[in-house]
Structure 1
Amino acid sequence: MTGMALAICLGLSGAGCGTRLATKADHAAQMPNPMHNADYSEDAEVPFVIALKTAMTDVSRPANFASESASRRTRDMVDWVVGSRDNLNLPFAIVDKVNTKVYVFGMDGRLHGAAPVLLGLAQGDHSTPGVGNMRMSHISPAERTTPAGRFVAAMGRNAHGKEVLWVDYENAISMHPVVAGRPAERRAQRLDTPSPLDNRISYGCINVPVNFFKNMIHRIFSGTAGIVYVLPEARRVR
């Protein structure tokens, strides 16, 4: 499964998050990575950290969210990705775990769309070792985390033959259309509420609205690899 093998976590390990590749442009080293020295636990206490911004002409800050709302950390991350070419001319997505939202960009940093997401039940930025090989019934609530980091992602299929975007294949973390789950979980309804406080319900995968997956994720990432950046929520990243 060559496509699936691309889903390698190059993100958080130990106390750090590797965000550089040898193939980047030389000027990347001169641009500060917004994921460095940021205490996301403080922002996590304020779910909505939003600032609207219009298109900018300054090439050092190329992100254009138009009228889409986004947190400061998301905007800073997109600016850094595009300015440093960390996405390697591939489409990319930013997952803001605090605000439970995903933003999808083309290779040039142009925003194609955004949507709410459902994330792992437990807060935390790492996966439990070996969780990808566990039966779901054996994964405790505390182990149901959505890992943070930089991931090379690719379209593929899960064990049930359903199309997904593999984010961290080793740990069985994917982005996929929201599933019905147990009626009591009310997953679809959780996506429709304006608050992010009820969007923590999955075993770690990133659930998106069905139409968003079909019209955005499938369209942008089919036939190519991509980069998914999952911003941390509880750890100080260096």
Structure 2
Amino acid sequence: MKDPNHSPKLVDLWRKRWWSGAAVLALAGGLIGLWVWTQQVGQTATPPGDAPAPQVSQAPPVPLRAQFGDEPASADARQIASWALHSGDNQNLAVVVVDKKDAKVYVFDRDGELQGAAPALMGSAVGDHSVPGVGDKPVAQVLPEERTTPAGRFIAEVGLNANGEDVVWVDYGAAVSMHRVRANVKAERRLERLASSTAADNRISFGCINLPVSFYEKVLSPLVRGTGAVVYVLPETQPATALFGAYDVPAR
């Protein structure tokens, strides 16, 4: 007797259903595998538009130095100006160097470019310190030995003096400023002293630093007002390197 479950038609139908089921399972498995792969790729790959910028190594900034050009200057003036810029002691401000021995002032912008240089009149007394309380004295009461231009590092400040004249303060407490030369007393010959070729006759002031009018108005004052400045007044009774803690700036 034949088993009805093993008839040719039933077997054929069973085979068709089996293959259909297997195909569905295979298709489903393929779709699941594709979905998993796309998820993994999406987590690890970065779209072209969102690709991180390549890391570009930047060279460290080149330390600045004072650029005197053809301007004559003493070794001390050159060293302190370059050291101030190279070390960053100027705090990204302009640099003003006052050379008392040579009676000359140099003005640099904060990049080290020389903006100008000019002769100057200094305190008549030799010395690097202000006498305590001298800034509170009337000018007529300042003794000859007290008329010094103090050496050191000062932050320049624009302001007014007792006569309402605009000045650049160097040491406000000691009443020492940089200002236009005043030729009020003819016997002092201040204009002639500035114009002379020697620094020997430039010691005449009560301590302030007198400058040619055009240099003060066109070079010094605009720069101090624009970017601020650090003033380095070089000493005359001790080495400049000792006063400022400066070092020799290496060549480029």
Q: TM-score, normalised by structure 2?
A: 0.69
**1:180 correspondence with 2:183:** yes
Match of 2:157 in 1: 154
% identity of equivalent residues: 51
Answer yes or no: is the 8 Å Cα contact 2:134–2:174 preserved in 1: yes
Residues 1-238 of structure 1: matches in 2 within 5 Å?
Answer: 62-236=65-239, 237-238=242-243
> Any idea what the Cα deviations from partners look like across 1:54-95, whole Å, max 9, x if unmatched?
xxxxx5672221110000111111111111011101112000
Aligned residues: 180
Answer yes or no: is the 8 Å Cα contact 2:64–2:111 preserved in 1: no
Aligned-pair RMSD on alpha carbons? Answer: 1.3
Larger radius of gyration: 2
Stretches of structure 1 lacking an aligned partner (at least 5 in a row) = 1-58
Question: Partner letter of residue 168 of structure 2?
Answer: L
Q: Which has the larger helix fraction? A: 2
Answer yes or no: is the 8 Å Cα contact 1:125–1:148 preserved in 2: yes
RCO higher in structure (CA 8 A, sep ≥6): 1
Separation of aligned partners in 2, 1:217 and 1:179: 17
Please report how far the alpha carbon of residue 166 of structure 1 lies from its aligned counterpart in structure 2 after TM superposition.
0.5
Answer yes or no: is the 8 Å Cα contact 1:101–1:116 preserved in 2: yes
Question: Partner letter of residue 161 of structure 1?
Answer: G
> Any idea what the Cα deviations from partners look like across 1:96-121, whole Å, max 9, x if unmatched?
00000000010111110000000000
Answer yes or no: is the 8 Å Cα contact 2:152–2:234 preserved in 1: yes
Separation of aligned partners in 2, 1:90 and 1:168: 17
Separation of aligned partners in 1, 2:122 and 2:231: 14
Please report how far the alpha carbon of residue 223 of structure 1 lies from its aligned counterpart in structure 2 after TM superposition.
4.2
Separation of aligned partners in 2, 1:201 and 1:129: 21
